[in-house]
Structure formats: structure tokens, C-alpha cells
Amino acid sequence: MALRSLHQYCQHPATRDTPIIVLSTKEEPQIKSAAFAAGPNDYVVKLPDTVELAARVRYHSRYYQNLMQRDEAYRALRQSQQQLLEINLELQRLTHSDGLTGPSNRRRFDDYLNAEWDRSAQEHTAVGMLMIDVDNFKSYNDTYGHVAGDDVLKLVARTIESSLMQSTDLAARFGGEEFAVVSPATSMHALRMLGEKIRIAVQALNVPHAGTTTGRVTISVGGASDATVGEGGPKQLLEAADLALYRA
């Protein structure tokens, strides 16, 4: 019964770390072995003198305190590491994001386009690119003000991102009122569908724009695929998409 209680005390989450000294009159090895198997820190036969008992209690108390301090230090270290990881992820996000509109910035776009171009060459797949321009944006700024213009850019950026069809698609602010999308492993047909999906989604926002014939904010979209530009590299793909935007 005593051994069962000792075992439960040593295993219970609330008490298992508390030092336990067993005081017993039994010196038999089997009893000592059974007692230690239950998990106590010490086993004392008969009541020792006061000095010895105090020394044992002090030793185990000090060990317990050191154990608690170590565990607390580990917890603090894990918390600091988690906080550092979160800070680094946020810094990485800010480094790669456009400060105004939220999606990737031009630097991140260039890096991603170059990487996906190389990947497409290795895997013999196509990489597509869309160039997107907010129509008559200067007129919108002149009519409604730059604050409203910034709000429109943010709204268009969110709409572009929410319209992407693959987890590998990357939307970026290319500059000013221009945005771009890199779509890996995409056929020209799928790229056209994506561009049309984005164009319709922005038009459906019904943001008023008195400076256009439609009376609302719209975008123009041009697309190109590396399958259509040959081996000229990412720069030629960008130029082809920009030309397609100009013709849109």
C-alpha cells in the first residue's frame, strides 16, 4: 500500500518533481529496490541523526531548486526563440512586401521570376506572367485625391491576390499603378483565364471613376509565357508581357 502511494506521488504531475526521502526501518535489498523503483530521491534506514537528515534535506532541496531554475530557463529560452522566429518572419515579410499595397515588392518579384524561369527550364514547364495596369489612374488621383488613389491601389492589390489560382502564383506591385503576376507551370490558355478573372473581379468592385467611359475603376491586363518568347530570359518575358499590356 505504501509503495503504491509512493509510486502515485512520484508520478503525479503536481508532485513528481518534489524531492522525496523515504524513511524506513527495512534494510532488505529487495525492499530498497522496490522503493527506489517507485521513484523517490533518497532512502534512509531508520531515523538518522539531525545533522545527517538536515544535510540530506538541504541537498535535495537545493537540487530541486536548481531543477526548477533550469526548467524556467529552458522555458524562457524557448519563448525567446519563438519570439525571435516571429520577428524574423515579420522582417522577412516586410522586406519582401510592398509597403503600401501589401503584396510582394519589385525586388521579390524579380527574384521569384528569375527562380521560376530557371525551374521551368530544368523541368521543361512553362512560366507565365501578367502585367496589370489601373486604367486612367492619374485622372483618378486628380479627381479624388491621392489618399483615395492609395485606397484603390490597396483594393486592386487585394483583389489580384484573392483571384490567384495556384499556391505558387505570386502577385507583386511592379511600380506606381502597375502590378504583375508570375504564374509557374501555366499554359497560355490558363494565363488568359487568370487575367480575365482578375479583370472582371476588379470591374465588379464598382469603384466610381468619373474620368472613364465606364464610370468605374477598371484595369488592363497583358500576358506572356516563356513558351512564346523562347530562350530570351526573364527580361524578354517581362518585355513581352508589357507589350501585351500596351496592346490590351
Residues known to be catalytic: 177
140: closest CA among 153, 154, 131?
A: 153
Residues 6+ apart with CB under 8 A from 215: 208, 209
| C-alpha distance from residue 44 to each of 6, 25, 37, 48 (Å) | 15, 8, 15, 7
Q: Are 23 and 47 in contact (CB under 8 A)?
A: yes
Helix ranges, the chain (H): 2-11, 29-38, 50-96, 106-123, 137-144, 146-163, 188-203, 226-229, 234-247
SS (H, E, C) 150-212: HHHHHHHHHHHHHHCCCCCCEEEEEECCEEEEEEECCCHHHHHHHHHHHHHHHHCCCCECCCC
The whole-angstrom distance between residue 107's C-alpha and the CA centroid of its chain comes to 19
Torsion of CA 182, 183, 184, 187, to 10 degrees: -130
Strands 42-45 and 21-24: parallel
The answer to whether 99 touches 162, Cβ cutoff 8 Å, is no
Q: Which amino acid is at 183?
A: S
